[in-house]
A and B are shown apart, each in its own frame.
Chain A
Amino acid sequence: MAISRSEVLKIADLAKLEFGEAELDAFTVQFQHLLDYIEKLTEVDVAAIEPTSHVAVTEDFEKHIFHEDEVRPSLPVEESLGNAPDPGEGHFRVPKVL
């Protein structure tokens, strides 16, 4: 599956990453190389095969995964803000969203 520079830019936008011009060219080449390898998977006959999204134990999951929605002790606000790049007064401050 051939990939163009503009497609790489689209993906970068989805991923919220940015590349410089030279970086972008080098990256596109590498990306193409990887995608060419991954094409291998098209050789496999998956016609009647169910997908596997995880391998966790899910028998009786209602019993051991769900629990009552009870309030329990949690992190105090100051600790939650402990690594914040810009803590306001008890909140995370960011540039205007709207």
Chain B
Amino acid sequence: MNLRDAYRIRETVHSGERTARDWAEAALARIDAMDSEWGVFLSVEPETVRKRADAVDRAARGRSLPLAGVPVAIKDNICTRGLRTTCGSRMLETYVPPYNATVIDRLEDAGAVVIGKVNCDEFAMGSSTENSAFRITRNPYDPERVPGGSSGGSAVAVAAGMVPVSLGSDTGGSVRQPASFCNVLGLKPTYGRVSRYGLVAFASSLDCISPIANSPRDLALLLSVIAGRDHHDATSAPVAVPDYAAELRKPVEGMHLGVPGEFFGEGLDPEVRAVIEAGIRNMEALGCRLHEVSLPHTEYAVADYYIIAPAEASSNLARYDGVKYGYRAPEYDDLLDMYRRSRSRGFGPEVQRRIMLGTYALSSGYYDAYYGRAMKVRTLIQRDYVKAFEKVDALLGPVAPTPAFKIGEKVSDPLAMYLSDVYTVTANLAGIPSLSLPCGFTAGGLPVGMQIMANQFREGTLLRLAESYARAYPLPDPSTRLPIPGA
């Protein structure tokens, strides 16, 4: 039973050919067989999954639920009622949310079956999933390499065929980059397109819950279920959700595509460049018109992001004080000491680094020079995109400067890790949607994704381009590339 196509899975449940229970069992069996090797799941409760699948089978009778019986993996920073949610951190090692994130309710109303919670960098801070307090997740294309991060577990769950679709979160590239490293598709929606209610906050003006799948059609399916205004999230956009499935079928001939010169400068691995340039020529061959564009403030993007995101994180993570939930140190002298010990032991080094950076940038005497200035540079970054989209419908470029790097290679050099986010952070700063599309492989067999960016609320444009590309240049069947037997 092939767990790579959510659309097909729901069709088999609609027709009665299969049941939700059949698919849940298939997913559980694959996880059981593969998870210890790949390090993907943090929490799976098989009996709960079975009960849920049976409930879907009862509810689905005679109805066409959009995700009937579709197994989904959820990044462990998204709250699932009654199912442990750790955010990859010792701080929340035993935390069981008393409520569902809105996206979970929407998935379940649509008939999906949440199979379990997957590994991530602690509090979504990282680009390799190495910052998880619990386990290492490995890249299925080379087990000595990282899957990317922070949504590494979400990407591998799909890439390794454990589930057809997953949810991750993308604050600076955390879904697009692992998707690129693992040969799957990842779509960061427009900020506010998908409710953040129940997503444990890292950077409130940047965080976006984002789907991962093997096809544009499945991305469209997921997005149409989770997108839309939510009164629990004041930042969720009161903008109508288009028919994404209909968008897929629209032609791309004559569309104007921009190639930002700044995304092809120094630091871009030559093999990645070659794959992306071939991808861009492929897009042109579909009848798209290419234009050179400039995003002049790209060189300031990483510095800008690494003030804003840590600043927001320092505020959001102030709630972890051992009072109402989360880790509380066993011994302390007084209240403030309880805070200090709980936080210093509950948080890992990267989280502490970012809290410190953010606290500094917001502190009295430094606020204007750092955070104040960063907010103004953000305006300029956003304006670069507004200008570019006056000329073109979408932008093409790499997702990351390199393919997947080796486990341990960057973890002791935070700045090197941060610099690898150069092509992805600007979409979060500007609030625009962006998609990572499998585009090819390096000579060593490592996947490379192409990034497609569009203006706010133009997810349809991204899906349309991805679908036309995938039809003309079939994405390689993962099983022909993966070293996993029976994948």
Contacts and interface: CB of A to CB of B under 8 A. Distances in A.
The judgment on whether A and B are partners is: yes
Interface of A: 1, 3, 8, 11-12, 14-19, 27, 30-31, 33-35, 37-38, 40-44, 46, 49-57, 60, 64-65, 67, 75, 79-80, 82-86, 92, 94-97
Nearest to B330: A85
Interface of B: 94-96, 98-99, 191-192, 204-205, 229, 231, 234-235, 237-239, 297, 299-300, 302-304, 306-307, 314, 318, 321-328, 332, 334-336, 338-341, 343-344, 347, 352-353, 355-357, 359-360, 363, 369-370, 372-380, 382, 414-415, 418, 429-431, 456
A83 B320 CA distance: 12
B196 to A, nearest CB: 10
Given A3-B360, A50-B379, 20 more contacts: A15-B343, A16-B343, A17-B352, A30-B414, A34-B418, A37-B303, A38-B303, A40-B299, A41-B373, A44-B377, A52-B382, A54-B204, A55-B429, A55-B430, A57-B192, A57-B239, A64-B229, A83-B95, A96-B334, A96-B335
Given A17-B352, A38-B370, A95-B334, A46 B324 contact: no
B191 A44 contact: no
Given A41-B377, A46-B373, A67-B231, A16 B360 contact: no
Nearest to B192: A56
Nearest to B234: A65
A44 B414 CA distance: 24
A27 B357 CA distance: 11
A97 B347 CA distance: 24
At the interface, is chain B mostly helix, strand, loop or mixed? helix
Nearest to A36: B415
Which 5 pairs, one residue from A and one from B, show the smallest C-beta to C-beta distance? A55-B431, A51-B375, A85-B328, A83-B325, A46-B376
Contacts of B415: 33-34, 37
B246 to A, nearest CB: 23
B297 A44 contact: yes
Given A11-B356, A34-B306, A44-B297, A54 B363 contact: no
Contacts of B352: 17
Nearest to A81: B324
A50 to B, nearest CB: 6
Given A16-B339, A52-B378, A75 B356 contact: no
A46 B378 CA distance: 10
Contacts of B94: 83
A11, A14, A53, A55: most-surrounded residue (chain B CB, <10 A) = A55
Contacts of B318: 16
A17 B378 contact: no
A34 B414 contact: yes
Nearest to B345: A18
A55 B427 CA distance: 11
B235 A56 contact: yes
Contacts of B343: 15-17
A86 B328 contact: yes
A87 to B, nearest CB: 10
A33 B373 CA distance: 19
A65 to B, nearest CB: 5
A56 to B, nearest CB: 4
B413 to A, nearest CB: 9
Contact of A38 (B306, B332, B340, B456): B306
A59 to B, nearest CB: 8
B233 to A, nearest CB: 10
B30 to A, nearest CB: 31
B307 A31 contact: no
A57 B237 contact: yes
A52 B338 contact: no
A95 to B, nearest CB: 5
Contact of B326 (A50, A60, A83): A83
B375 A52 contact: yes
Nearest to A50: B379
Nearest to B322: A85
Contact of A94 (B327, B338, B353, B373): B338
A31 B356 contact: yes
A86 B431 CA distance: 40
Given A56-B237, A82-B96, A84-B324, A14 B359 contact: yes
Contacts of A41: 300, 303-304, 307, 373-374, 377
Contact of B380 (A30, A40, A49, A80): A49
B350 to A, nearest CB: 11
B382 A15 contact: no
Contacts of A95: 332, 334-335, 338
Nearest to B297: A44
9 contacts: A3-B360, A11-B363, A41-B373, A41-B377, A54-B235, A55-B192, A56-B205, A75-B99, A83-B326
A54 B238 contact: no
Nearest to A64: B238
Contacts of B347: 17
B414 A17 contact: no
A40 B303 contact: yes
A53 B205 contact: yes
Given A34-B414, A38-B370, A94 B323 contact: yes
B300 A84 contact: no
A51 B372 CA distance: 7
